[in-house]
Amino acid sequence: MLIETTTAPNHAHYMQPDFWSDVYSGRPIAILNHYGRLHVYLDHILQHNVVFAEREDALAWLIQRIERGVLTGADVAPADVTEPA
C-alpha cells in the first residue's frame, strides 16, 4: 500500500529493521525505515516519489520495477546518451 503523508504514528514500525538490502536480478535494492515510513532504493538511488507503510509492499514494488525493466540513471552508459542537435 502506497502512503502519502500521515500524522498518526505507525505502531508496527518498531518491529521492522531500520535498514535492509539485497540484490535482485543483479540489481541492488534497499529499504530504509525512517520513523515508520519505508523509503526504497533501486541501484543505490532513492526512489523519492514513493513511500510505503509495509515492508512487503515496498519489496513488491522494487521487484515489479526490476521485472518491468525500469531504467535508472545507473543503467545509462555515456555511449547511450546523445547530444542535442
User: What is the pTM for the complete model shown?
Assistant: 0.65
**Integer Cα distance of 5 and 21 in angstroms:** 24
**Residue 72 identity (one-letter amino acid):** T
Torsion sign across C-alpha atoms 6, 32, 54, 57? positive
For 44-76, the pLDDT digits (tens) are 999 999 999 999 999 999 999 999 986 654 444
For 31-50, the pLDDT digits (tens) are 999 999 999 999 999 999 99
Residue 17, all three cell numbers: 529493521
**Integer Cα distance of 9 and 71 in angstroms:** 34
